[in-house]
C-alpha cells in the first residue's frame, strides 16, 4: 500500500484513541460495538456478517463501480474502529462497499457500518489518497448513508457526489430492451450542518460564501480565477477555510 495511505491510516488510528475509553464503556454496559484496537475481531465480523455478493446487473451494459479494479483502502467504521488494509470497490448505484475477504470471496459491507474510506488513487501521475465519507444530511436524492469524495476539508467541505443509475432503452418495433449504466455527478458544500449544491460559477460561489464575499472576490481577482473547473473551485474553498 502506498506510503501516503499508511500515514493517513496512522493518523486515523491516533484520532481513534481519544474515543477508546467511551467505546470500552459502551461495550462493558452491553450496548455492543467494536473494541478500538481489536482489528482481528473487526475483520472477523466483516467476514461473518458481510453478505456474499451475487451480481444483480448481469443484463446491464457498463459497470456500476467507481472503479472496476480492487483498490487498497483503510476503512473507519462506526465507533472509530480502523480496519487498515482492505481490498475494496464502491458500487455507485447502491452506494455500498464491496470487499475481498481472506479467501478472496467478494462480499458486501453492511449499509451504515462504514463512515470513512481512505483509498489509493492512482488516476494521476502519482499515487495519492482519495477520502470518501458518509453521514451527511440527506439532500436531493442522496441519503445519509451515501458516500461523497472529500475535495476540500475544513469548516466548509467541498464534496463530490457520484451516482449511477440504469437507463432503459426499449425498441418497440424490435421487441428488445437495452439497459446501460449512466453516471451522474454533482458538487456540494457542507457547513453549519447544512448541505447545498454548488455549480462552477463565480457569482453563485460568491453568493454561497457571502459572509466572506469581499475577501473571496479579491482572492479570485488576484489569482485570475474563472471558477469553471473543480481545481479552481477547490482553491477558493481552501482559501475560505483559512479565513478567521
The pLDDT tens digits for 153-169 are 999 999 999 999 999 99
Contacts with 211 (C-beta within 8 Å, 6 or more apart), sequence order = none
- Distance between CA atoms of residues 147 and 143, nearest Å: 9
- The CA–CA distances, whole Å, from 35 to 77, 164, 170 equal 11, 35, 52
| pLDDT tens by residue, 16-74 | 444 343 333 333 333 333 333 334 444 444 545 556 667 788 889 999 999 999 999 99
Residue 235 has pLDDT above 80, yes or no: yes
Give the percent of the chain with pLDDT over 70. Answer: 76
Q: 190: which 3 cell numbers?
A: 457542507
Q: How far apart are CA 62 and CA 190, in angstroms?
A: 31
Record the cell numbers describing residue 134, joined without a space. 458518509
- In the chain, count of helices (H) and strands (E)? 6, 12
Residues 79-131: tens digit of each pLDDT: 888 998 899 999 999 999 999 988 888 988 988 999 999 998 876 667 689 99
pLDDT in the model for residue 58 = 84
Q: Quick check: 5 pLDDT over 60?
A: no
What is the Cα–Cα distance from 78 to 177, expressed in whole angstroms?
A: 42
Query: For position 40, what pLDDT does the model report?
Result: 42
- This prediction has a pTM of 0.79
| Of 16, 17, 10, 75, the residue nearest 46 (C-alpha) | 75
Residues 166-194 pLDDT 10s = 999 988 788 788 999 999 999 999 999 99
pLDDT at residue 56, rounded to an integer:
83
* pLDDT grade for 232, boundaries at 50, 70 and 90: very high
Contacts of 146 (CB under 8 A, 6+ apart): 95, 134, 136, 161, 163
- For 104-114, letters b (16+ CB in 10 Å) and e give eebbbbeeebb
Amino acid at each position: 500500500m502506498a506510503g501516503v495511505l499508511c500515514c493517513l491510516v496512522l493518523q486515523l488510528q491516533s484520532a481513534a484513541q481519544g474515543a477508546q475509553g467511551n467505546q470500552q464503556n459502551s461495550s462493558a454496559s452491553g450496548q455492543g460495538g467494536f473494541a478500538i484496537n481489536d482489528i482481528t475481531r473487526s475483520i472477523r465480523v466483516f467476514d461473518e456478517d458481510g453478505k456474499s455478493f451475487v451480481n444483480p446487473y448481469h443484463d446491464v451494459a457498463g459497470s456500476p463501480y467507481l472503479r472496476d479494479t480492487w483498490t487498497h483502502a483503510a476503512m473507519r467504521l462506526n465507533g472509530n474502529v480502523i480496519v487498515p488494509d482492505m481490498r475494496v470497490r464502491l458500487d455507485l448505484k447502491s452506494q455500498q462497499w464491496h470487499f475481498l475477504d481472506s479467501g478472496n470471496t467478494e462480499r458486501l459491507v453492511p449499509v451504515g457500518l462504514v463512515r470513512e474510506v481512505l483509498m489509493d488513487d492512482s488516476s494521476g501521475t502519482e499515487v495519492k489518497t482519495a477520502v470518501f465519507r458518509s453521514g451527511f444530511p440527506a439532500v436531493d436524492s442522496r441519503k445519509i448513508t451515501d458516500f461523497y469524495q472529500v475535495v476540500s476539508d475544513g469548516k466548509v467541505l467541498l464534496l463530490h457526489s457520484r451516482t449511477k443509475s440504469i437507463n432503459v432503452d426499449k425498441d418497440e418495433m424490435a421487441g428488445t430492451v437495452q439497459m446501460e449504466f449512466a453516471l451522474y455527478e454533482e458538487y456540494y458544500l457542507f457547513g453549519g450542518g447544512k448541505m447545498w449544491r454548488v455549480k462552477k460559477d463565480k457569482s453563485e460561489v460568491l453568493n454561497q460564501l457571502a459572509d466572506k464575499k469581499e475577501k473571496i472576490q479579491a482572492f479570485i481577482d488576484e489569482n485570475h480565477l474563472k471558477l469553471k473547473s473543480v481545481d479552481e473551485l477547490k482553491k477558493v474553498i481552501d482559501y475560505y477555510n483559512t479565513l478567521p
